[in-house]
């Protein structure tokens, strides 16, 4: 269950988040059979780390983010049992999940904890990074919505996480809003300033996920995230089967079998997807306006409920500079749009 | 006779509370206690003509004969170390940290239940903002299987105490939604938002409504409670009218056909921090309300 043994021989480590970020795209309805099938496929393809949790991290099951169909800890236990070589990882957002959750999943066999905060709020991760380290887990500091902070600002935040004991630092393009240049400048600054490895988590709202991941690698990132078939929040994540194929073309060694990942995507994941990961108008607006990707389906439901435009909701959330976790503001915006429309019609 | 009071902790909460208490006829503020002689908070206290020692909670114990009541605005960690000593010294402690050692009080729900307690816990800012609404929904229906709150505060108004103890915030708040709000199951979430200019404190309450709930009674009760809280927190308001949404929803308390959504905003009074810091304002306003009620109750008891 150790990824470090493989790490020496590969150019970057692939962390698969189909069972965590992918959970958004299926409204957190994974069941045990699906988890087992995905873990089995990814493990056989040589994926070093498999992340699993509610899409909003441990403890995310809620009115605000959607209730999990099956208790995430039950699913995590099944994943740990099924994985032969892959390390099982969990993500936790301080403010949503608890340090106690880390203790629970450590007992289930989870080897890695990723502690995620908004990219300007790293200091709320201290308690959780330290807990994960004390529990003996590899611990990654994960800064979300990284397009909302400058390279210098991210360095400042990353140094905090490093000082708490993080073994690596990630930036996440949670809104899929970054250009390749945006990614290069941020990764470059982090690689220069940090002692620990750097990783990038890309989204595809601007159709840049694979290109941005390769650019991140070229700037020195040694951990890259993706999901099978791109299953994930917004227009989806960096699709691992494509990232692996492109890496092979570049001669970048990944340690994963691209053809096997294509099989998993086609035969295991696509059949369970309620909708394919396409960049439709709403998905594109997320990237264009810099809005948190997991708002997509919540905004769709609110738009239907209150008979307003999903695109208008997303644009207004962008104007309000809403951050990850504020899904309740989708209802707030929808109600205000509905009221404005009613007032207009009244006149 | 006014009660002689001291504030322990000279940070944001302590300073905001100081300005409110200086206006009170019932609470006579004599000192603000800190640990850093150079701190801005202690300088403000000195400017206001108060004693401003920097020897921390020990100063309170050394001067116990002179102090009737303290308001603890330090951290859960410090409060846990001192709460027994305050009680032994005969000092009533109003605890604004999430230490949760004494009974929890949310003024519009249970203000008069614990006035004789040596230690009263003020839960959290999010708990003060949302527990009244959970209670308001609960009193309008038979059982409330599940309630949830999401609190978003501006990054600027979240001090180091909150940031280092974020789990204490969610755990204490969640407990209050059950113990005081009356929900059978609960969850609390906090989000920090760095937007500029800073956003006003936002709180959202979701409540699972069982089959057969009287929706108009729920909505009426929510409106009544908003008016009740705004009596002592003038900036507390419903940002949008409360709505009932159709499910079904599969909550930890079981499947429910509907949920109530209450979207709240709290604008601060601007006593110390600007108006965006409604999270500080609701905490200090609630603590003042409790302190004054305790003072009145103690006056009524024949010695």
Nearest C-alpha in A relative to B202: A329
Q: How far apart are CA B147 and CA B259, in angstroms?
A: 9
A199 reaches B (C-beta below 8 A)? no
Q: What is A2-43 written as a DSSP string?
A: -SHHHHTTSSSEEEEEEETTHHHHTTT---HHHHHHHHHHHH
- A322:B193 CB<8 A: yes
Residues ≥6 apart with Cβ < 8 Å to B18: B7, B29, B32, B44, B45, B48, B50, B272
pLDDT at B166 over 80: yes
Q: In whole angstroms, how far apart are CA B174 and each of A124, A261, B104, B134?
A: 19, 42, 12, 11
pLDDT at A3 over 50: no
Nearest C-alpha in A relative to B151: A326
Q: Which helix (H) or strand (E) segment is A170 a member of?
A: strand A168-172
pLDDT for B135 equals: 98
The reply to whether B226 and B256 lie within a common domain is: yes
B190 contacts on A by Cβ (under 8 Å): 95
Q: Per-residue confidence at A176, pLDDT binned at 50, 70, 90?
A: very high
Q: Report yes or no: B276 and B156 within 8 Å, Cβ to Cβ.
A: yes
| Predicted-complex ipTM score | 0.95
The reply to whether B91 and B129 lie within a common domain is: no
Burial of B88 (0-12, 13-18, 19+ CB in 10 A): exposed
For chain A, what is the mean pLDDT? 96
Q: Per-residue confidence at B302, pLDDT binned at 50, 70, 90?
A: low
The reply to whether B150 and B115 lie within a common domain is: no
Torsions phi, psi for A231 (to 5 deg): -55, 120
pLDDT for A4 equals: 43
pLDDT at B70 over 90: yes
Residues ≥6 apart with Cβ < 8 Å to B154: B192, B193, B194, B195, B198, B199, B200, B201, B276, B277
Q: Per-residue confidence at A347, pLDDT binned at 50, 70, 90?
A: low
Burial of A248 (0-12, 13-18, 19+ CB in 10 A): middle
The reply to whether B130 and B117 lie within a common domain is: no
B5 is catalytic: no
C-alpha gyration radius of chain B:
19
Torsions phi, psi for A75 (to 5 deg): -70, -40
B238 reaches A (C-beta below 8 A)? no
Percent over 90 (pLDDT), chain A? 95
Residue of B146, B147, B164, B167 to mutate for A, most A C-beta atoms under 10 A: B167
The average pLDDT across A141-157 equals: 98
Residue of B164, B249, B252 with shortest CB distance to A126: B164
Q: Report yes or no: A174 and A166 within 8 Å, Cβ to Cβ.
A: no
Torsion sign, CA atoms A227, A231, A235, A241: positive
Residue of B149, B151, B160, B163 to mutate for A, most A C-beta atoms under 10 A: B163
Q: In whole angstroms, how far apart are CA A96 and each of B27, B183, B229?
A: 38, 19, 26
A67 reaches B (C-beta below 8 A)? yes
B261 reaches A (C-beta below 8 A)? yes
The reply to whether B246 and B233 lie within a common domain is: yes
Cis-peptide into B248, omega within 30 deg: yes
CATH number at residue B105: 3.40.50.720
pLDDT at B126 over 50: yes
pTM of the model: 0.94
Q: Report yes or no: B249 and B219 within 8 Å, Cβ to Cβ.
A: no
pLDDT for B303 equals: 46
The reply to whether B147 and B118 lie within a common domain is: no
Q: Report yes or no: B243 and B231 within 8 Å, Cβ to Cβ.
A: no
Q: Report yes or no: A185 and A155 within 8 Å, Cβ to Cβ.
A: no
Per the structure, how many domains does chain B have?
Answer: 2
Lowest average pLDDT, out of A1-5, A39-43, A320-324, B218-222, goes to A1-5
pLDDT for B159 equals: 81
SS3 B6: strand
pLDDT for B282 equals: 95
Which carries the bigger pLDDT value, residue B236 or residue B162?
B236
pLDDT for A76 equals: 98
pLDDT at A79 over 50: yes
The reply to whether B248 and B107 lie within a common domain is: no
**Domains of chain A, with CATH numbers?**
4-272 (3.20.20.70), 294-346 (1.10.8.60)
The average pLDDT across A230-241 equals: 97
SS3 A129: helix
- A95:B192 CB<8 A: yes
pLDDT for A1 equals: 40
pLDDT for A51 equals: 98
The reply to whether B64 and B156 lie within a common domain is: no
pLDDT at B1 over 90: no
Q: Per-residue confidence at B76, pLDDT binned at 50, 70, 90?
A: confident
Q: Report yes or no: A105 and A90 within 8 Å, Cβ to Cβ.
A: yes
Nearest C-alpha in A relative to B186: A62
A121 reaches B (C-beta below 8 A)? yes
CATH number at residue B250: 3.30.360.10
Could you report the per-residue pLDDT of B193-222, keeping only the tens digit for each?
A: 999 999 999 999 999 999 999 999 999 999
pLDDT at B22 over 60: yes
Q: How far apart are CA B174 and CA B124, in angstroms?
A: 10
The reply to whether B153 and B261 lie within a common domain is: yes
The average pLDDT across A177-202 equals: 98
Residue of B163, B171, B196 with shortest CB distance to A123: B163
Percent over 70 (pLDDT), chain B? 99
pLDDT at A2 over 80: no
Q: Which two tokens stand for residue B265?
A: 């905003």
Could you report the per-residue pLDDT of A268-290, keeping only the tens digit for each?
A: 999 999 989 999 999 999 999 99
Q: Which domain holds residue B56?
A: 3-123+283-300
CA A344 to chain CA centroid, Å, is 40
Catalytic residue among B69, B125, B158, B225: B125
Q: In whole angstroms, how far apart are CA B293 and each of A121, B99, B217, B286, B299?
A: 38, 21, 30, 11, 10
Lowest average pLDDT, out of A307-321, B160-174, B195-209, B285-299, goes to B160-174
């Amino acid at each position: 269950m150790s990824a470090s043994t493989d790490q020496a021989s590969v150019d970057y480590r692939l962390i698969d988040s189909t069972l965590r970020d992918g959970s958004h795209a299926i409204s957190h309805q994974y069941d045990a059979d699906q988890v087992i099938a995905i873990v089995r496929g990814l493990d056989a393809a040589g994926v070093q780390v498999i992340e699993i949790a509610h899409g909003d991290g441990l403890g995310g099951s809620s009115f605000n983010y959607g209730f999990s169909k099956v208790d995430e800890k039950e699913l995590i236990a099944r994943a740990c049992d099924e994985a032969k070589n892959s390390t099982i990882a969990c993500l936790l957002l301080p403010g949503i999940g608890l340090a106690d959750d880390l203790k629970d999943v450590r007992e289930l066999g989870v080897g890695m904890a990723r502690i995620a905060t908004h990219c300007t709020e790293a200091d709320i991760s201290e308690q959780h990074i330290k807990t994960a380290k004390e529990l003996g887990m590899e611990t990654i500091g994960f800064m979300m919505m990284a397009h909302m902070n400058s390279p210098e600002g991210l360095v400042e935040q990353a140094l905090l996480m490093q000082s708490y004991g993080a073994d690596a630092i990630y930036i996440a393009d949670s809104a899929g809003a970054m250009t390749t240049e945006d990614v290069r400048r941020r990764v470059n600054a982090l690689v220069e300033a940090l002692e620990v490895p750097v990783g990038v988590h890309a989204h595809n709202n601007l159709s840049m996920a694979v290109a941005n991941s390769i650019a991140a690698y070229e700037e020195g990132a040694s951990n890259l995230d993706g999901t099978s078939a791109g299953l994930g929040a917004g227009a989806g994540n960096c699709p691992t089967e494509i990232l692996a194929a492109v890496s092979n073309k570049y001669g970048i060694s990944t340690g994963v079998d691209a053809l096997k990942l294509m099989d998993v995507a086609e035969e295991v994941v696509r059949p369970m997807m309620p909708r394919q990961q396409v960049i439709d108008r709403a998905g594109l607006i997320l990237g264009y306006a810099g809005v948190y990707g997991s708002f997509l389906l919540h905004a769709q439901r609110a738009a239907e409920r209150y008979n307003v435009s999903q695109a208008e909701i997303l644009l207004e959330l962008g104007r309000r500079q809403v951050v990850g976790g504020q899904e309740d503001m989708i209802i707030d915006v929808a109600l205000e749009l509905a009221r404005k429309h009613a007032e207009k019609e009244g006149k | 006779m006014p009660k002689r009071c001291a504030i322990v902790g000279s940070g944001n909460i302590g300073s905001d509370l100081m300005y409110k208490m200086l206006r009170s006829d019932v609470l006579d503020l004599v000192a603000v206690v800190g640990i850093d002689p150079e701190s801005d908070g202690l300088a403000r206290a000195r400017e206001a003509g108060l004693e401003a020692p920097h020897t921390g909670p020990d100063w309170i114990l050394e001067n116990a004969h002179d102090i009737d009541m303290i308001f603890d605005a330090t951290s859960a960690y410090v409060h846990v170390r001192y709460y027994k000593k305050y009680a032994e010294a005969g000092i009533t402690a109003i605890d604004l940290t999430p230490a949760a050692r004494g009974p929890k009080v949310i003024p519009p729900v249970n203000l008069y239940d614990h006035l004789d307690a040596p230690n009263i816990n003020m839960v959290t800012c999010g708990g003060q903002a949302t527990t009244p609404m959970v209670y308001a929904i609960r009193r309008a229906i038979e059982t409330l299987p599940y309630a949830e709150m999401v609190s978003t505060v501006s990054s600027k108004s979240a001090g180091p105490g909150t940031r280092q103890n974020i789990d204490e915030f969610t755990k204490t708040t969640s407990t209050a939604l059950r113990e005081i709000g009356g929900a059978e199951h609960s969850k609390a979430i906090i989000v920090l938002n760095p937007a500029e200019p800073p956003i006003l404190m936002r709180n959202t309450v979701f409540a699972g409504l069982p089959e057969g709930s009287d929706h108009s009674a729920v909505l009426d009760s929510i409106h009544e409670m908003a008016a009740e809280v705004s009596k002592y927190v003038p900036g507390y308001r419903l940002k949008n009218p409360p709505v009932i949404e159709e499910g079904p929803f599969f909550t930890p308390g079981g499947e429910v056909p509907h949920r109530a959504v209450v979207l709240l905003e709290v604008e601060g009074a601007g006593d110390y921090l600007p108006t965006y810091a409604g999270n500080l304002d609701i905490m200090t306003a609630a603590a003042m309300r409790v302190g004054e009620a305790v003072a009145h109750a103690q006056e009524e008891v024949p010695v």
